[in-house]
Structure 1
Amino acid sequence: MPIQRRPKPTSPDEFIEGANLTESVLQHQIEVLEHQLQQKDEHEQALVGEIEQLRANDLDETERQLLQKQIDELREHLKQNQGSVEYPIAKIHPNPKQTRQTFKEEVEAMERSLQEEGQLDDVMLFDDGTLFDGECRWRAATNLNWKTIRAVFVSRPENDQTLRRRTYLANRHRRDLNALDKAASLVAIVCDEISELKPDEVSRIVNRVLTRLKRRKQKLGDRLHLQPQEQQRAILAQFKLEPVEIQVFLILLGLQEHPATLNRNVFPTLSLNPNLRIAVRERALGCAQALVLNRLTSDNLGLSKQKALQLLNEGIEVTLANNLSEIKAQQWVAEQKKQLVGDATKALSNGVRNQHVDHILVAVQRLDLDKATISTEQRQELKQALKRVLQML
């Protein structure tokens, strides 16, 4: 059996040198790991940047497929770096800056998909459990009484303003993003960046500027929202707008939204009756049909507020039950107005004549403006008085 020699004792200098070497190796390994993590983070940020750049443009079907491919690549990148986890559904909460507020139909479809095929894509969460992507999957899983859902985690933006903007861009090109959700989100983004601006001022500023330009026979140009920001600034400078007006327009243009389109098709939804808003978000009423039904007001119909609201609610039920298009909804509203006028005429013809009105009629019929000498001021007052009477008839 060979004799085992005792190892030579390590001198203090050799020990210190070995310790320094070990520390040096460890430091090198730490630097390598940090470099690898930085590369992974840079790759993740590059993917996010590519996705946001794509979402900031008007996409055709091929580009939509490319966008979805980039999203899938980001999700796969996160899975490879972190791995998926089964995260408790009860600890997940929605994004308070979420653009979409309408989920009903998509959630119902997602429930069927989860039941038949299981969860195909992970939801994306921030570290505190806030959703970045996948709210429909989370809502559907909640309705199905799932306890956990597969998730990956992504870095949270540096502030809420950036989060709201990114969330809007993430939802902008989805076909089910309705005009009401879009309008509310755009107003919030503008107010984030111009803190002194009140929400109801945003749409008024846009409408005011466009009305002024129309009066001057000036136009923004159909593709202004697709131009570089410097060119947008140069064009807006030609119109001599107020500083806050330029700010609002540049923010909207920076989101690839044309102010004229928003003024015509999106911002009008902000004036929807509360019942119509609920019907849009919870019962899948189309925004175009909602805007048609929004004309059923007491002022437009000459009814009390209570009766006008009853007719509005009837219009909601009829539109939903019969799946009326915008044109069909317009026809239904016109029919209701026609019927109200007919009922009013019938009531007048069957009623007792008002003697006071008869006296006024006689006086007006006898008035000969050609022979009478009346001042310009009296003529104007008479026009205004007759106009008010005609509006009430």
Structure 2
Amino acid sequence: MPAKKPASISQMFAPASQNQEVLQLQDRVEELEDELRQLRLQELDSDVKTALEEQIQELAQQLAQQGGEHYISLEQIQPDADQPRTVFPPTVIQARAKSLREEGQHSPIILIPQTEDLYKLFDGELRWRSASHAGLTTLRAVFLTQDALDKLDRAAVFDRQLTTSLQSEKLHPFDLANGLVKLMVMRHPQLNEQVKAIPSLLNAVIQRLRRSGEIAELEAVAIADRIVQQEWIEKVCVSETERWILEAILSKQLNPVSINSNVFTLLSLPDDLQSVIRTAGLEGSKVLELRKVSGKNLHSDEAVATDLRIKLIHEIIHQGLSLDKIRFKVKAILKEHSDAQQRPKPLDLAQRLSSIPKQLKQAKVWEDAQKRQKLEKLLNELEGLLL
């Protein structure tokens, strides 16, 4: 279908109140889509599925009425640099492409007009990335004006984007780590100078809670309502910074223990591992296993560790290695280098020569004419080398 372009930028812009309604309707559409996906997985009654599909279509029509709907070329759309999701594994893109191909586009993406023929994504990047794989050249879209966006609380907007990414699709832990830190800083700019310290600050809180025995409460607190969470945070935190960190994590109903162990640890990854996350979408558990191949663990130079990781990454991607196989290979690499470290190092030449006089005194070589003759020959060769 050819792209349907509005006559002018002014015709694209809807009032701010409509923009807010667009966001609310979009939230509801994605909630229903997620519910529908779960129902399909559970193979429930087809009448229930049909009813949900009809609700999605109805809400999609409301989005079009409120914000105006247009067919926009994929080439005219740019990703949003502030989008919390940056990792899009090929398998996820192919799965969404299959859905677009077989089921069509359930809801329009949300775009921010930049010029007459250039738009920035506000919501729907996975659909945009998957569309070309589905054979599409355009996507249905509604518009959010830059003026209305400027009036919105940027922290609230990013908060919503992060929540949507968590709920609608599985967010890679690397994106979750960066998204949570960014949300903390947007809510509390004072944290900007402590960005790199946030993981260690959370770890310190977790360790203190372990010692006090309060760590067991976290699982229940994570899914409690906001009031209960706030009361608990006030009880356990000893500083404002700790409170801000726990508030951001718990507001997403996430367990800080899991974030500390499996998510924030990804923030200190070396460049090669960050790259394989972004390009191949390698799972966080596999990346954390690869990180064990480090210069420190190998008792070697970091460059050696990087080369070994890159070779292993190549195997993982091309052979589709499971986590268990990766663990096996990592253990083998570490054991090999550990064994090499434990082997006695050969003495250097000077040390070997200095030990000869003592050995000569103890040797019975002088009693054997044949050995004495051989030794004399070796001594003559040594004298010749030293001249």
Same fold (TM over 0.5): yes
Structure-1-length-normalised TM-score? 0.68
Give the 3-state SS of the residue equivalent to 1:150 in structure 2: strand
Instruction: Show the counterpart of 2:173.
Output: 179
Give the alignment partner of residue 167 of structure 1, picking from 161, 167, 177: 161
Q: 1:316 to 1:102 in 2, by over 3 A?
A: same
User: What does 1:17-28 align with in structure 2 at a 5 Å threshold?
Assistant: none
Identity %: 24
Deviation, 1:180, is 0.4
Following superposition, the deviation at residue 168 of structure 1 comes to: 0.4
Tell me whether 257-266 or 129-138 shows the greater mean CA deviation: 129-138
User: Structure 1 residues 41 and 217, CA, compared in 2 at 3 Å: closer, same or farther?
Assistant: closer
Give deviations 1:301-351, integer Å, cap 9, x for gaps: 0111221111111221222233222232121111111112333444x2655
Matched, 1:213 2:209: yes
Distance 1:304 1:188 in 2: 33
Of stretches 151-160 and 254-263 in structure 1, the one that deviates more from structure 2 is 151-160
Whether 1:136 aligns to 2:143 is no
Structure 1 spans left out of the alignment, 5+ residues:
1-36, 360-393
Partner of 1:103, secondary structure, is coil
The corresponding residue for 2:25 is 47
Distance 1:49 1:143 in 2: 25
CA 1:137/1:44 → structure 2, altered by over 3 Å: closer, same or farther?
closer
Shift of the 120–266 alpha-carbon distance from structure 1 to 2, 3 Å rule, reads same
Amino acid at match of 1:205: L
Once the two structures are superposed, residues 268-316 of structure 1 have per-residue CA deviations (whole angstroms, 9 ceiling, x without a partner) of 1112111111111111322111101111111110111221111111221
> Match of 2:142, as an amino acid?
V
Counterparts of residues 280-291 of structure 1 (less than 5 Å):
280-291=277-288
Contact kept, 8 Å, 1:78 with 1:153, in 2: the verdict is no
Q: Which amino acid aligns with 2:111?
A: L
C-alpha distance in structure 1 between counterparts of 2:96 and 2:66, whole Å: 27
**Contact 1:190 / 1:202 at 8 angstroms: preserved in 2?**
no
Q: Secondary structure at the match of 2:80?
A: coil
Distance 1:192 1:153 in 2: 25
Please list, as runs of the form range in 1=range in 2, the aligned pairs for 1:101-180 lying within 5 A after superposition. 101-105=86-90, 106-110=92-96, 121-128=107-114, 129-141=119-131, 148-154=138-144, 157=149, 158-180=152-174
Aligned equivalents of 2:248 and 2:165: distance in 1?
17
The 5 Å alignment of 1:284-363 reads 284-346=281-343, 348=344, 351=347
CA contact (8 A) 1:124 1:132 kept: yes
Residues 175 and 329 of structure 1: CA distance in aligned 2, closer, same or farther (over 3 Å)? farther
Query: Which residue of structure 2 aligns with residue 249 of structure 1?
Result: 246
Specify whether residues 125 and 293 from structure 1 end up closer, same or farther in structure 2 by C-alpha distance, changes over 3 A only.
same
Q: Distance in 1 between matches of 2:124 and 2:69?
A: 14
Amino acid at match of 1:139: R
State the one-letter code of the partner of 1:99.
P
2:61 to 45, 69, 76: 76
- Report the CA distance between 1:186 and its aligned residue: 0.7
Residues 330 and 343 (structure 1 numbering): CA distance in 2 closer, same or farther, change over 3 Å? same
Letter in 1 for 2:303: Q
Displacement of 1:80 in angstroms is: 3.5
Distance 1:58 1:204, change over 3 A: farther
> 2:182 corresponds to which letter in structure 1?
A
Report the RMSD for the aligned CA atoms in angstroms.
3.9
Q: Distance in 1 between matches of 2:174 and 2:271?
A: 12
Which residue does the alignment assign to 2:255?
258
Name the SS of the counterpart of 1:257 in structure 2: coil
Give the distance between the partners of 1:236 and 1:114, measured in 2 at CA: 43
Q: Structure 2: how far apart are the matches of 1:162 and 1:120?
A: 25
Q: Secondary structure at the match of 1:223?
A: helix
> 2:72 maps to what in 1?
87
> Which residue of 2 is the match for residue 371 of structure 1?
none
**Matched residue type, 1:247:** W
RCO higher in 1 or 2 (8 Å CA, sep ≥ 6)?
2
Any conservation in 2 of the 1:98–1:167 contact (CA below 8 Å)? yes
Structure 2 SS opposite 1:124: strand
Residues 235 and 325 of structure 1: is their aligned pair in 2 closer, same or farther, counting only changes over 3 Å?
A: same
Partner of 2:361: none
**Residue 204 of structure 1, aligned match among 188, 192, 200:** 200
Partner of 1:194: 188
Equivalent residue for 1:365? none
SS of the residue aligned with 1:249? helix
Q: Flag structure 2 segments of 5+ consecutive residues without an equivalent.
A: 1-14, 42-48, 356-387
Q: Larger Rg: 1 or 2? A: 1
What's the TM-score once normalised by structure 2's chain length?
A: 0.69
The answer on 1:277 being equivalent to 2:263 is no
Which residue does 2:38 correspond to in 1? Answer: 61
Tell me how far apart the structure 2 counterparts of residues 81 and 117 of structure 1 sit (CA, whole Å).
24
Task: Render the CA deviation track for 1:139-177: whole Å, top value 9, x for unaligned.
Answer: 344679976433222465513222211110111024441
SS at match of 2:296: helix
Aligned length: 319
For 2:37 and 2:238, locate their aligned partners in 1 and report how far apart those are by CA, in whole Å. Answer: 34
Q: Determine the structure 1 residue equivalent to 2:229.
A: 232
Q: Which residue of 2 aligns with 1:389?
A: none
CA distance in 2, matches of 1:67, 1:241: 47
